[in-house]
Amino acid sequence: MRGRRRGRGRAALATLRGQAAPRRAAAQGHGDGDPPAFALGRCAALRPPGWRPVLEALLALGAEHHATPRVFGSLGWTALTGLDYLGPASDLDLLWPVLPPVRMEALLAALARIEARAPMRLDGEVLLPDGSGANWRELQAGGAEILVKGTGDVALHPRAAFLGAAEAA
């Protein structure tokens, strides 16, 4: 199994050559917006056994909302390198594309329900088409302003404007 994982990591590494980190690589995409090495469905085999029901629920949530969840963090590094970066205290870092407000609210509520029964913490961001993003929990909390991290800055933005970006795209 270890050799198989290592080979898969080399293929992913060749695909992503020149990109600095899994989060950035996952955010940038390869033309179709979904780099194969980081699509959650393609990384699912690398997960700890206890994560299976959660990953199945996340994939079903993505399919329901026509949004492919992507990974970064420990699972992203495992996919990239073929080395095992996952441990008992690992969380699952996810990237979701921004959706129109009503669909985004539904996805965020479902994500919170999935995390409530998950053996690991679900972390991650909702990304705008330009690659900037906001923490999904902060969006789900419903405050008027959220912290948005871009490629060159971090700033508070109106939550409604962030969610409205999906309709403008």
What are the DSSP E strand ranges found in 89-140?
92-97, 122-127, 133-135
Biggest CA–CA distance in the chain, Å, is 49
Length of the chain (residues): 169
Q: How far apart are CA 32 and CA 50, in angstroms?
A: 31
The catalytic position among 32, 84, 93, 153 is 93
| Distance (Å, whole) CA 131 – CA 87 | 28
Q: Is 34 annotated in the active site?
A: no
Active site residue 153: no
Candidate list 84, 91, 123, 130, residue with the active-site label: 91
Q: H or E element: which one contains 70?
A: strand 70-72
So which residues are the catalytic ones? 91, 93
